[in-house]
Structure 1
């Protein structure tokens, strides 16, 4: 950058933003399910990072921090008073830069319809290519829990894509 108004800290922040904005946006979109909320969340997450002047050991550390901060921020947004009292249109954006064809769009739509616990681990595993061990650390869950959620999430996604019912059924109240 040749902008004399920017200092060395600003240059570093701009580089971190360029490297990770797509990842943060995709995760926000997966969790919040709409572009407007995802855009707002990305801005809030990077603003938080800038204000706290966080230093990182390496690029993996900063990416991991951003993913955890993103997950926590999106959970807060989903729990907010405003979110719980407005009407959700459940409309996907027409096209995103990482949605290349009809099949991938269908997979994304089905992924977004999964419960949050499956949606997040499947996204981190397949889109961000994190290992089960890394996901367990990021989400503060046991590795066995992550493996179970990946397996059940795959089953549900496969069943949804085939148009069939998933074999796993939630226990009804009153049954053991």
Structure 2
């Protein structure tokens, strides 16, 4: 891959890869590390991609795998975050902020499925391919995530 083509890919996909990683990890620094690692793998990938969509899917798959690898890491399981407060995103309306907090409280597989399906616009089948799961599994994750969000948001309303 040429340096110019790599720079274009970073501009096109960098934010998307970061958001996916953040939805998995809930930590800005770890998400940045995953983004850099994924983009580095893209840079050294020897094959040419069939299309921009193929390149994008490959990169998202690599990022999802990097996130899973980091979550399985013994170091991550044995340490606690020094700052208990989550990094807060800024939203125009309080309802958006509440929804974001509740989505980030979901288990990683649910967060990633919600992000890819609702925010990136992938179909259930495509989301499954990116996350290494069957389409029926992704449908189940989305259904459970919606159920958990519905319950928590109703509790917050009351």
TM-score, L = length of structure 2: 0.88
Deviations 1:84-140 (A, max 9, x none): 1211245322336xx554322221211111112221111111011101121122223
- Structure with bigger helix share is 2
Correspondence for 2:60 among 64, 67, 88: 67
Distance 1:49 1:90, change over 3 A: farther
For the 8 Å contact 1:92–1:109, the answer to whether it is kept is no
Bigger relative contact order, structure 1 or 2 (CA pairs below 8 A, ≥6 apart): 2
Contact 1:24 1:42 in 2 (8 A): yes
Q: Is the Cα–Cα contact under 8 Å of residues 24 and 67 in structure 2 kept in the other structure?
A: yes
- 2:130 paired residue among 127, 138, 141: 138
Distance 2:54 2:63 in 1: 14
Aligned residues: 155
Gaps of 5+ in 1: 1-7, 165-176
Most deviating of 18-27 and 37-46: 37-46
| Consecutive unaligned residues in structure 2, runs of 5 or more | none
1:20–1:63 Cα contact (<8 Å) kept? yes
Alignment of 1:1-176 (within 5 A): 9-88=2-81, 89-95=83-89, 99-163=91-155
RMSD: 1.8
TM-score (norm 1): 0.80
- Native 8 Å contact 2:25 2:108 kept in 1: no
Runs of 4+ in structure 1 off by over 4 angstroms are none
Asked whether the equivalents of residues 17 and 63 of structure 2 are also in contact (C-alpha less than 8 Å), the reply is yes
